[in-house]
Amino acid sequence: MKLLENQTIIVTGASRGIGRGIALRVAEQGANVAFTYLSSEAKAKELEAEIQAKGVKAKAYHSDAADYKAAEQLVTDVLADFGRVDTLVNNAGITKDGLLMRMSEEQFDAVIKANLKSVFNLTKAIQRPMLKERKGSIINITSVVGIRGNAGQSNYAASKAGIIGFTKSIALELGSRNIRCNAVAPGFIETEMTAALDEKVVAQWRESIPLKRGGTADDVANAVVFLASDWSAYITGQVIQVCGGMLT
């Protein structure tokens, strides 16, 4: 028996990186997957086919999680197409790094909107159907940067710290209805984005981590599978750090 057999899971921002890894891993565990993308339709269709090849239902939706109306419409469309939603994974996000003295108001606002308001939008939209079912799991992808901060990422750190506060609050609000809300905080995860970094910089990162390696999208996805499954039925309001011991 697969851990997520017959579940329907929404994953936002899944066309690449961690989101893609999550979508594939939950499908391997038997879940039907509805996922969003914003830019590359080709990559989205490719992922849709990969998921379907695992014997589950999958559909890609072109939707901006940072847009309140679009988030509402997404949930309406997924319910019409799949019949139910058991788990929401709020993964969509961006970075616009820079020191505060050089950071524009537009850079700050864009990151807060894409990373934090998107979590509000989708959680608000999914609340009603989950309340009706009296069951659900909401999983928000935050970051170790939201816990300890990082120079040059004040906007990103603020958005990810906000996700943690939001997660704990929703866990308190919805716990009595058997709806759980948790966060996953990845550390240094090696994706196509980090592949563009200088190898010496990456080597320094790896050396600073107790497990002496960067994480993978699968490492994050495994934590998501656990939080989506009944194995975590008594866990809510928590932040699971997937960081190789970077933060202890």
pLDDT of residue 63: 98
**130 inside domain:** yes
Give residue 197's pLDDT. Answer: 73
**173 CB neighbour count, 10 Å cutoff:** 12
Is residue 248, in this structure, part of any structural domain at all? no
Count structural domains, the chain: 1
**Nearest C-alpha neighbor of 187 from the set 173, 206, 168:** 206
- Whether residue 236 lies inside any domain: the answer is yes
* Measured distance CA(121)–CA(123) in Å, rounded: 6
CATH code, domain with 23: 3.40.50.720
Over residues 29-37, the mean pLDDT reads 98
Assigned token pair, 209: 């981590």
Q: What is the CA radius of gyration of the chain?
A: 17
Instruction: Quote the distance between the C-alpha of residue 150 and its chain's center.
Output: 20
Residue 81 · residue 73 · CB < 8 Å: no
- Tens-place pLDDT, residues 148-161: 999 999 999 999 99
Q: What mean pLDDT, rounded, does the chain reach? A: 96
Is residue 3 in some structural domain? no
156 is annotated as an active-site residue = yes
Which two tokens mark 216? 């993978």
**The pLDDT of residue 192 is above 80:** no
Q: Which residue, among 223, 188, 222, 185, has the nearest Cα to 207 in the 3D structure?
A: 188
Q: Which phi and psi (to 5°) does residue 206 adopt?
A: -60, -40
> From the candidates 37, 61, 68, 156, which is the catalytic residue?
156
Contacts of residue 138, Cβ cutoff 8 Å, sequence gap at least 6 = 87, 88, 90, 123, 126, 130, 167, 170, 174, 179, 180, 181, 182
Q: What confidence category does residue 195 fall into, taking pLDDT thresholds of 50, 70 and 90?
A: confident
pLDDT of 158 reads 98
Residue 247 forms part of a structural domain: no
Q: Which structural domain range is residue 83 located in?
A: 8-242
Residue 2 falls inside a structural domain? no
Nearest alpha carbon to residue 37 among 53, 7, 17, 57: 17
pLDDT for 27 equals: 98
Q: What is the DSSP string of 107-129?
A: HHHHHIIIIIIHHHHHHHHHHHH
Query: 45-59: per-residue pLDDT in tens?
Result: 999 999 999 999 999
Give the tens place of pLDDT for each residue, 74-125.
999 999 999 999 999 999 999 999 999 999 999 999 999 999 999 999 999 9
Tell me, yes or no, whether 218 lies in a domain: yes
Q: What is the pLDDT of residue 199?
A: 85
Domain-located, residue 97: yes
